[in-house]
């Protein structure tokens, strides 16, 4: 078997044993770049995937490789890079990221569309979180993490830890009351806690769309662009 055939067999096992969301997110654009005498090097698209596979799936990857090759696996490394045959893997790995079946979260207030700084400069007046829809109870500490939502939680934490780098942009999909708003606001809470001067804009998709349409009709496109680009974090809820 070629390296590509070995990895396709491994992917087939994982596709049957884990959720589509996890399969798509953690195994997309991965492949074996080297397999020599029980030593395997797997190429992954980024450092976040590298870390997650090492921590969450390493033992399962090793077992799957041993089943497929019928040989003992001595060592598996995960290196960041590009892998050949990505186009062929696309046919197998084609589902969108979803965050579903999470524990029910409290109903959220509708975002009003204001910029928020916990400790704003002189050019902005102080506003309480409730005045623009942020709920002080929506933090990572209060979010209930389960097997079905750990992916969304981990991605949101990555964004808060490395804003502008990890998952930019980040889309979280799920039904009503599953915690999407909680995670969005938890990102804002952590960033503001670490840097009170962080500029954050939290709006509903309806308000964002209405403002865009109005700016075009009234010739205020430049003002619209400046409003939404001059922030450190843009959160759009209820899409």
User: CB of 61 within 8 A of CB of 10?
Assistant: yes
Q: What is the pLDDT of residue 105?
A: 53
Cα 14 from Cα 70, distance rounded (Å): 17
CATH 3.30.300.180 segments of the chain: 3-90
pLDDT value at residue 96: 42
This model's pTM is above 0.75: no
DSSP line for the chain: --HHHHHHHHHHHHHHHS-HHHHHHHHTT-EEEEEETTEEEEEESSHHHHHHIIIIIHHHHHHHHHHHHSS---EEEEEES--TTHHHHHTT--PPP---SPPP-PPPPPP--EEE-SS--TTS----GGGGT--TT-STTT----TTTHHHHHHHHHHHHSTTTSSSS------TTSSHHHHHHHHHHHHHHH-TT--EEEEEHHHHHHHHHHHHHTT-HHHHHHHHHS-SEEEEE--
Q: Are 83 and 31 in contact (CB under 8 A)?
A: yes
Considering the chain, what is the average pLDDT of its residues? Answer: 80
Report the C-alpha gap between 112 and 128 in whole angstroms.
12
Q: Which two tokens stand for residue 109?
A: 């207030």
Q: Is 3.40.1390.40 the CATH classification of the domain at 3-90? A: no
d(CA 198, CA 27) in angstroms, rounded, equals 34
Write down the CATH number for the domain with range 114-237. 3.40.50.300
Q: Residues spanned by CATH 3.40.50.300 within the chain? A: 114-237
Spatial contact of 184 and 134, defined as CB atoms under 8 Å apart: no
Place of tokens 């079946």: 101
Residue 102 has what pLDDT?
44
Residue 150: per-residue pLDDT: 80
State residue 135's pLDDT score.
86
For residue 25, the model assigns a pLDDT of 87
Position 133 scores a pLDDT of 60
pLDDT number for residue 238 = 83
- Residues with pLDDT less than 70, the chain: 83-133
pLDDT at position 108: 53
């Amino acid at each position: 078997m070629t390296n590509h055939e070995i990895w396709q067999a491994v992917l087939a096992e994982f596709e049957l044993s884990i959720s589509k969301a996890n399969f798509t997110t953690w195994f997309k654009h991965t492949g074996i770049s080297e397999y020599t005498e029980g030593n395997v090097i797997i190429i992954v698209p980024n450092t976040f995937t590298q870390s997650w596979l090492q921590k969450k799936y390493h033992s399962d990857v090793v077992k799957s490789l041993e089943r497929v090759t019928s040989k003992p696996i001595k060592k598996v490394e995960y290196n960041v890079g590009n892998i050949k045959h990505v186009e062929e893997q696309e046919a197998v790995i084609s589902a969108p990221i979803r965050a579903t079946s999470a524990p029910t979260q409290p109903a959220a207030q509708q975002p009003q569309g204001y910029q928020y700084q916990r400790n704003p400069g002189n050019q902005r007046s102080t506003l309480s979180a409730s005045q623009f829809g942020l709920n002080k109870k929506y933090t990572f500490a209060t979010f209930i993490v389960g097997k079905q939502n750990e992916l969304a939680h981990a991605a949101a934490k990555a964004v808060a830890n490395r804003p502008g780098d990890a998952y930019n942009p980040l889309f979280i999909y799920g039904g009503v009351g599953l915690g999407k708003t909680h995670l969005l606001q938890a990102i804002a809470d952590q960033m503001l806690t670490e840097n009170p001067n962080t500029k954050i804009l939290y709006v509903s998709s309806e308000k964002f769309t209405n403002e865009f349409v109005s700016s075009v009709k009234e010739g205020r496109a430049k003002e619209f662009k400046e409003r939404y680009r001059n922030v450190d974090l843009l959160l759009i809820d209820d899409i």
